[in-house]
Amino acid sequence: MHTSQIIVELTVLVLAIFVGFEVISKVPTMLHTPLMSGTNAIHGIVLVGAIVVAGLPHQSTWIRIVALAAVALGTMNVVGGFVVTDRMLGMFRRRAPVRDSGPVKGVRGNREVSPTNPEVPDEPE
Amino acid sequence: MSRSDAIGLAYLVTIIAFILALRFLSSPTTAPLGNRIGALGMAIAIGATFAQAGLHNYWSILIVMLVSAPIGAYAARAVKMTAMPQMVALFNGVGGGAAALVALSDFHQVAPEPGRIKADVGISIMLSALIGSVSFAGSLVAFGKLQELISGRPIVYPGQKLVNGALLTALLVLAIVVLAGQQRQTLVIALLCGALLFGVLFVLPIGGADMPVVISLLNAFTGLAAAATGFVLHNNVLIVSGMLVGASGTLLTMLMGRAMNRSLANVLFGAFGQVVAGTAGAAAGVDGASVRSATAEDVAVMLAYAKKVVVVPGYGLAVAQAQHDVRTLADLLEQRGVEVMLAYAKKVVVVPGYGLAVAQAQHDVRTLADLLEQRGVEVTYAIHPVAGRMPGHMNVLLAEANVPYPQLKEMDEANPEFPRTDVALVIGANDVVNPDARSNAGSPIYGMPILNVDESKQVVVLKRSMNPGFAGIDNPLFLNPRTVMLFGDAKDSVEKLIGSVKNV
């Protein structure tokens, strides 16, 4: 028996739905925005479709323009999406050393040294 | 291994990368890595696509990509942190537009011979065209609302739902007609135009305050459109990635709705914030109550002598870019009170850790101990889950200003603290502190969890004017006898406060 392509594709689709629900089921509110932005970048994968279509032979001029426009839009989605997400997350990243009590060199005397440990109840000023 | 198998394997690597990216994006510590893994996966997929046999027009494709990539990167870099939501909307719309255009050109490939389109491919083309166009147009409207190019207020007219429903039905009928054999390009283009119109009409009646939820939903739509494109091209990476976004985006949309205690249907069709102006104010029973306005000096005195101050940031803070000044003010308040608040100092236990040893901070600890003994005002930040125009907006802004993490309190943590708070300093927040959500069943935001700032001994509201907030709802908090208003741009007001506090 040979399973037809559409059945295989539907199976893949359904599995992807469950994975999609599963991977983000417990995301903190704080990260809703970056996560939205990150998934926004991922659906830029439509660029792959645009490249395939734009790369088909024997196109009339206007349809080639349409396909190339799709490539342009897809590229902006991908590049812009990942860069915006990275910028957003950069805001969080800078806090990490302070929070994780790692060695914080070079900022002595500054507030950054403060909670060397999350258990410290009050922050030294 | 054939070339197509190798490409298929590369796509599989991309799929794994995307799943890991989503997984990692769900935790603050791993999120930056997750985003980079996602970008790497994308690069692999694009590279593999170029390696595909029989691909024509290499150069024109490459040139278009090389031209548009810097545009996307520049837009993403140039945008201010406060305008991030709009930018996400814009990139989302662009992706939806790409999916629609792919569908259009793909239809063209098979159109010259009617009847050649197989049902599965045909349905996928129609879906991709429809959803992609709706997402494109809807995202542009969302962008316009957030950028305040068009009114953030819901735009409603009688029979609106009927018109939208009729248009959607007409579009579906048109799609079926095309599938049934009328495979004409003019019909497909008509379908695209109709879907664009529907996207506009669909988002117009939704209030600006709900835009984050709408963008999240349209984000899921674009994912679905990409997945549909995958069925057209028989491409697994498109199916899986598109559907991952479709599914996770749907869940994210519901989570956001839950944070506001509203159903998705209510967000989409409730025309939130449309009727309110009259009802909310009247229902609150505020006849004769007046607004108490204060000068920066008054507020400075109040803040300087308070024992505990809670800052409630909102969109006004973001607009005025006042986060750095707020931070400076908080520092000042914390430093102040050294002489005034000595009497209030309670027992402080210092627990030194590894970081202290590494930093050789023992001398500072001595100074610190002295300071702590004299410390007066304790400043924390109460963050409502939907403060600002995106969940997490405030966290991002305050993190940018280096506000220490432990000072950021989430709503559940912050609310029990208000009754023993001397001053709640509300900076450009409105709906998230609106007591109507608790008490006025007629209010559109009734039931939404809020920050109970009105339980504080004093409330200071920094606001530009008495205009209702983004959701367009009156706020009885401003008329509360315990509330004083400090009118003006949040940044100016906070700067003035800093000056006055120094002189107290």
Per residue in B413-428, pLDDT tens? Answer: 777 877 777 667 777 7
Predicted confidence at residue B484, as pLDDT, reads: 67
Active site residue B422: no
- CA B457/CA B302 separation, integer angstroms: 11
Q: Is B324 exposed, middle or buried (0-12, 13-18, 19+ CB in 10 A)?
A: middle
- CA A101/CA A109 separation, integer angstroms: 16
One-letter amino acid of B399: A
Residue A10 lies in a domain: no
Evaluated on CA atoms B310, B303, B323, B389, the torsion sign reads positive
Identify the residue whose tokens are 């389109």.
B117
For residues B66 and B148, state if they share a domain.
no
One-letter amino acid of B349: V
Q: How many CB pairs under 8 A join A and B?
A: 439
Identify the residue whose tokens are 């109460």.
B382
Instruction: Please state the domain count of chain B.
Output: 3
Identify the residue whose tokens are 């999350």.
A118
For residues B258 and B307, state if they share a domain.
no
Which tokens hold the place of A10?
A: 């539907």
For residues B179 and B68, state if they share a domain.
no
Residues of chain B found within 8 Å of residue A4, distances taken between Cβ atoms: none
Predicted confidence at residue A102, as pLDDT, reads: 39
- CA B374/CA B4 separation, integer angstroms: 72
Closest-CA residue of A relative to B350 is A120
Do the Cβ atoms of A123 and B407 come within 8 Å? Answer: yes
- CA B329/CA B317 separation, integer angstroms: 13
The question of ipTM being above 0.95 is answered as no
Residue A90 lies in a domain: yes
Predicted confidence at residue B113, as pLDDT, reads: 59
Strand, coil or helix: B294: coil
Residue B263 lies in a domain: yes
Residue A123 lies in a domain: no
For residues B162 and B61, state if they share a domain.
no
Predicted confidence at residue A31, as pLDDT, reads: 80
Laid out side by side, the sheet with B308-313 consists of: B292-293, B483-487, B458-463, B423-427, B308-313, B378-383, B408-410
Nearest C-alpha neighbor of B322 from the set B492, B496, B83: B492
Average pLDDT per consecutive 10 residues, chain B (504 residues; last block may be shorter): 89 95 86 93 95 86 94 90 83 94 84 65 90 95 87 79 90 88 81 94 83 90 94 92 93 82 75 44 45 71 71 77 77 48 32 29 35 52 69 64 67 78 72 81 76 75 64 74 69 63 54
Do the Cβ atoms of A49 and B38 come within 8 Å? Answer: no
Residue B348 lies in a domain: no
Evaluated on CA atoms B187, B193, B194, B199, the torsion sign reads positive
For residues B174 and B303, state if they share a domain.
no
Residue A121 lies in a domain: no
Residue B370 lies in a domain: no
Q: Tell me whether B315 touches chain A (CB under 8 Å).
A: no
Are the C-beta atoms of B231 and B239 separated by less than 8 Å?
yes
Residues of chain B found within 8 Å of residue A97, distances taken between Cβ atoms: none
Predicted confidence at residue B497, as pLDDT, reads: 61
Question: Does pTM top 0.80 for this prediction?
Answer: no
Residues of chain B numbered 143-172 and touching chain A (CB < 8 Å): none
Do the Cβ atoms of A49 and B238 come within 8 Å? Answer: yes
Residues of chain B found within 8 Å of residue A102, distances taken between Cβ atoms: 355
Predicted confidence at residue B138, as pLDDT, reads: 95
Which is it for strands B458-463 and B423-427: parallel, antiparallel or unpaired? Answer: parallel
Predicted confidence at residue B290, as pLDDT, reads: 62
- Whole-angstrom CA distances from B375 to A24, B379, B382, B464 are 42, 11, 21, 32
- CA B89/CA B416 separation, integer angstroms: 36
* Structural domain for B68, as ranges: 1-74
- CA B45/CA A46 separation, integer angstroms: 11
Predicted confidence at residue B365, as pLDDT, reads: 31
Q: Which of A5, A19, A21, A33 to mutate to test the interface with B (most CBs of B within 10 A)?
A: A33
Q: Which of B59, B88, B380, B384 to mutate to test the interface with A (most CBs of A within 10 A)?
A: B88
- CA B211/CA B143 separation, integer angstroms: 9
What digits encode the pLDDT tens for the residues A80-103? 999 999 988 877 654 444 333 334
Do the Cβ atoms of A104 and B355 come within 8 Å? Answer: yes
Are the C-beta atoms of A87 and B88 separated by less than 8 Å?
no
Predicted confidence at residue B148, as pLDDT, reads: 81
What digits encode the pLDDT tens for the residues B288-314? 456 666 777 777 767 766 767 778 887
Distance from CA of B240 to the nearest CA of A (A): 5
Residue A115 lies in a domain: no
Q: Which residues contact B169 (CB under 8 A, 6 or more apart)?
A: none
Predicted confidence at residue A92, as pLDDT, reads: 66
Instruction: Please state the domain count of chain A.
Output: 1
Do the Cβ atoms of A12 and B239 come within 8 Å? Answer: yes
Predicted confidence at residue B320, as pLDDT, reads: 73
Do the Cβ atoms of A64 and B50 come within 8 Å? Answer: no
Q: Which of B143, B188, B245 to mutate to test the interface with A (most CBs of A within 10 A)?
A: B245
For residues B140 and B244, state if they share a domain.
yes
Those residues of chain A that have pLDDT short of 50 are 94-125
Spot the catalytic one: B106, B210, B325, B431.
B431
Do the Cβ atoms of A43 and B219 come within 8 Å? Answer: yes
Helices and strands: H and E segment counts in chain B = 20, 7
